[in-house]
Structure 1
Amino acid sequence: MMENQASSDDARQRLGFLPAAETAALARDGVLIPDPGSVLVSPGVRLEEGVVLWPGIILQVQDGGTLVIGNHTQLFSGSRLVASGGSIKVGARAEIGDEGGFTLKAGTGDVIEVGDGARLLGGGSLTLSNRIGRGAQILGPIRCQNCTLGDGATYRDPEPDERGGVLKGSGVARQTEVPTGSVIQAFGLFSEGILRRQSHFHPKSGR
């Protein structure tokens, strides 16, 4: 058993990740990790108090990159965040990777920012530079490159037109901008999608 653990730790360290015991020790800083043996975290990743790392998470820093996860953010199984010379900063109380994981990859010179309360789900990805504002959402397997979603309230807010910008559907979004309270739903190229108010999809009763 000890030999297997030593072999596992050797592989982790060769690949640039913390040994299993040091990963489990992140709990001392208030990080919640139900299954430390299934989680890979590079040295230098900054995890604030209350972050939840569900099984199967990879948080990787290499080539001078930086990766910061804000307090009480949840990273769901199958998510991979890689700062390979670039910068990834996730705000507080975000939800990343529910319903199929999510991938964030910042190469040299790239900056990916995910605001407080944002929600990224359904197997999509962020590559190159992206700014996903407070309360913004990406819903579905959407490949986002150089996208900007406006700040707003979270999906829990009763007023849909005050929520952060939303992309929903599947496909590729390049240099796409969605302002506060708006949404683009597409299945293919989001550049061909129609920008609508979120109340179009979530009308209030009595309207």
Structure 2
Amino acid sequence: MNETALASDETRRRLGFLSQGDTAALSRHGILVPDPGSVLISGEVRLEDEVVLWPNVVLQIAEGGTLVVGRGTELFSGTRIVAAGGSVAIGPGAEIGEEGGFTLKAAAGEIIQVGDGARLLGGGSLTRSNRIGRGAQILGPIRCQTCTLGDGGTYRDPEPDERGGVLKGSGVARGIEVPQGHVVQAFGLFADAAMRRQSYFHPKG
């Protein structure tokens, strides 16, 4: 190993991340990491089979937090997930960070739950406690705090009003609750926006 690689691994260890070699070795446990040199993972992170970690993903645990990523979840470039004393749990088959990355950060006493098949894209963030239900979506650079999106089908479900709750647009969403089959679209403060059925945006015929 050359001096540059040794220095990189020493820095990783000091910051609590796996070495490049240990990151690459995750492939032997069913984790897909195309570019191990660009991915930072704390040793305590729990990754289930077939998780995909694209370049420039950060999964960090600090101050006794917990972070679990479910089977088959795909984390796209620019995704940063930090359990800084809190808990982050991502269910199977989620898609996080396409079209600009995504940030999830749980401080002490906070819980972030992302359900099976949820989709978070477009450079947004989750801070404080949030529950993003099964099949729910956050679409765009939206700062979400203490939001709850209801369970439902994924965005592939042919019935829009049976899909998980959706936030779309850009801006700040605090304390927003969106039930199954509904969507709140805003460009600013989501508290001021109307809630509509998803079929309003995806009419049939």
Tell me the secondary structure at the aligned position of residue 89 of structure 1. strand
Report the alpha carbon displacement of residue 138 of structure 1 after superposing the two structures with TM. Answer: 0.1
Aligned to 1:153: 153
Report the alpha carbon displacement of residue 28 of structure 1 after superposing the two structures with TM. Answer: 1.1
Aligned to 1:34: 34
Report the alpha carbon displacement of residue 168 of structure 1 after superposing the two structures with TM. Answer: 0.1
Tell me the secondary structure at the aligned position of residue 37 of structure 1. helix
Tell me the secondary structure at the aligned position of residue 8 of structure 1. helix
Aligned to 1:168: 168
Aligned to 2:98: 98
- Partner amino acid for 2:67? L
Aligned to 2:79: 79
**Unaligned regions of 5+ residues in structure 1, if any?**
none
Q: List aligned pairs for 1:84-163, cutoff 5 A.
A: 84-163=84-163
Structure 1 residue 12 and structure 2 residue 19: aligned? no
Whole-Å Cα distance in 1 between the matches of residues 56 and 2 of structure 2? 22
Whole-Å Cα distance in 2 between the matches of residues 189 and 43 of structure 1? 38
Whole-Å Cα distance in 2 between the matches of residues 192 and 119 of structure 1? 24
Whole-Å Cα distance in 1 between the matches of residues 186 and 193 of structure 2? 5
Report the alpha carbon displacement of residue 2 of structure 1 after superposing the two structures with TM. Answer: 1.3
Calculate the aligned-residue CA RMSD, in Å: 0.5
1:21-70 superposed Cα distances (whole Å, 9 cap, x missing partner): 01111111100000000000001100000000000000000100000000
Runs of 4+ in 1 over 6 A off after TM superposition: none
Whole-Å Cα distance in 2 between the matches of residues 29 and 152 of structure 1? 31
Whole-Å Cα distance in 2 between the matches of residues 28 and 107 of structure 1? 32
Aligned to 2:189: 189
Whole-Å Cα distance in 2 between the matches of residues 157 and 42 of structure 1? 35
Tell me the secondary structure at the aligned position of residue 4 of structure 1. helix
Tell me the secondary structure at the aligned position of residue 21 of structure 1. helix
Whole-Å Cα distance in 2 between the matches of residues 64 and 15 of structure 1? 14
Whole-Å Cα distance in 2 between the matches of residues 193 and 43 of structure 1? 42
Whole-Å Cα distance in 1 between the matches of residues 29 and 177 of structure 2? 37
Whole-Å Cα distance in 2 between the matches of residues 151 and 142 of structure 1? 19
Whole-Å Cα distance in 2 between the matches of residues 87 and 111 of structure 1? 5
- Partner amino acid for 1:127? T
Could you tell me the TM-score, scaled by structure 1's length? 0.98
1:151-195 superposed Cα distances (whole Å, 9 cap, x missing partner): 000000000000000000000000000000000000000000100
- Partner amino acid for 1:28? R
- Partner amino acid for 1:197? R
Could you tell me the TM-score, scaled by structure 2's length? 0.99
1:60-119 superposed Cα distances (whole Å, 9 cap, x missing partner): 001000000000000000000000000000000000000000000000000000000000
